[in-house]
Amino acid sequence: MKIAYRDGWGLRDEDKATLQARLRRTTFAVRGEDGRHRLEEQCRPWKPLTRGEITAESVHLDYEHLRRWCNDQWYWVGLVVELLDDEVEPVDDVCDSLWGMESEDDDYLRETAHGMAEGLAQGLLQEAGERRYWNERDVETV
Burial 67-101 (b: 16+ CB within 10 A, else e): eeeeeeeeeeeebebeeeeeeeeeeeebebeeeee
pLDDT band at 139 (very low <50, low <70, confident <90, very high): low
For residues 11-34, average pLDDT: 88
The overall pTM is greater than 0.75:
no
Q: Which of 66, 63, 86, 84 is nearest to 74 (CA)?
A: 66
Q: What is the pLDDT of residue 136?
A: 80
pLDDT (0 to 100) of residue 7: 96
**pLDDT tens across 79-93, in order?**
999 988 888 888 877
pLDDT tops 80 at residue 49: yes
Q: How far apart are CA 4 and CA 6, in angstroms?
A: 5
pLDDT, residue 51, reads 95
Decide which of 84 and 58 is more confident.
Answer: 58
Neighbours of 113 (CB within 10 A): 15
Q: How confident is the model at residue 63 (pLDDT cuts 50, 70, 90)?
A: very high
91-132: per-residue pLDDT in tens?
877 888 999 999 988 899 999 999 999 998 898 888 888 888
Confidence of residue 31 (pLDDT cuts 50, 70, 90): confident
Largest CA distance in the chain: 111
